[in-house]
Each structure stands twice: as structure tokens, then as C-alpha cells.
Amino acid sequence: MIFKAFDVVAVPFPFTDRDATKRRPTLVISNESFNKQHNQIVLAMITTATDNVWLSDVALSNWQKAGLKVACKFRLKLFTLDQSLVIKTIGHLTPKDVKSVQAVLTEFIDVG
């Protein structure tokens, strides 16, 4: 399956202190062209954490429409993962949340 930017997908996250993983939602930020060419996806963290706030955090206002079970935020904590490790597609961000995430990506990742 080829994923699109702003898809919300579940992936296995390993624990550092034991031999186990836990399913977590993440946000695809790489585009379909990259994903097709490399069979990899660039992902960003989706979190419910409230104790550690990052300046670049974006509260997802339409989290239910994105398929999430609780209120969450996008966090600019990035990693690359082989697409075969994706457990399932949960949903897709609404246009309003896409714009908010794009604004943070533009502000904090200098590509110009």
C-alpha cells in the first residue's frame, strides 16, 4: 500500500527496556512520490502528552475525523520507517489540521 501525506497510520513502537512493542498513531509527512520510490515513509509523532510541551506542537482540532480515539497533537519528532511495518491506516487529517501542520513544517524546517 502506498501512503499519502497527512495519512494517520498505526505503527509498532519498541520499548527500550523490554522486548515488546506497542501500537502508536503517527502522521505521514512524506509525499506519495517519495513513498513510492523508496518504499519508506517519513513520519511524525502524534501524542497525548501534556507534561512536556514543544513550541512546534499542533493540537489536532478534528482528531475524531482523523480516526483518533482521544484528543492528540502533532509533534515535530520525525523518523523514517519501511512501509511494510505499518499496521493499518487510521484516517486522514482534515484540511484545517493539514494547514496547521504545514505551517509548523514550513516554520521549523528550513528548505529555502
The torsion angles phi and psi of 96, rounded to 5 degrees, stand at -65, -45
Cα–Cα distance measured from residue 5 to residue 99, given in angstroms and rounded to the nearest whole number: 12
Task: Domain ranges for the chain, please list them.
Answer: 7-108
What are the pLDDT tens digits along the chain (112 aa)? Answer: 889 999 999 998 766 566 777 899 999 999 999 999 999 999 999 999 988 899 999 999 999 999 999 999 999 999 999 999 999 999 999 999 999 999 999 999 987 7
Residue type at position 7: D
User: For domain 7-108, which CATH number applies: 1.10.10.60, 1.10.645.10, 2.30.30.110, 2.30.130.10?
Assistant: 2.30.30.110
pTM: 0.92
